[in-house]
Amino acid sequence: MPQSQYSIPQSHHSTPVVLVVDDEAILRMYAVDMFVQEGFHAFEAGDGAEALIQLGAHPEISVLFTDINMPGAMDGLALARIVCQRRPDVQLIITSGRAKPPQAEIPDRGQFLAKPYDPWVLARMVWSGRAQ
């Protein structure tokens, strides 16, 4: 699956850099487009393994926006737990079109947003998370 990335000018360090992780390409592209329209920078990944590669290659990533339900050995919750351990500076926003997971399954500082989500609410979550 091809990866997309949007150029990140070095002069915009305060602009959120979001990694969007979703195995459904249309939903992933929708989220990336929404973030770019909001003025954020975005990278994308189709699964947890690809997301970890992106995180390792791009230390400027400051927000992980991941779907929970993905194929493979690592779902979005497992990815979020790994990111929380490796990169505690990364804001975690977890989404699903299915039932909300119990709060105990969401890593510390992680937030849940149900699908379908309002792009304005998602953008506001990113900005409010950066103020913490």
* Token reading at 64: 């992980």
Amino acid type, 1: M
Q: Give whichever of 1-10, 11-20, 65-74 has the largest mean pLDDT.
A: 65-74
Tens digits of per-residue pLDDT, 37-47?
A: 999 999 999 99
pLDDT exceeds cutoff 90 at 48? yes
* Token reading at 14: 């305060």
Report pTM.
0.88
Domains of the chain with CATH codes:
17-73 (3.40.50.2300)
- What pLDDT does 14 receive? 81
Among 4-13, 14-23, 35-44, the range scoring the smallest mean pLDDT is 4-13
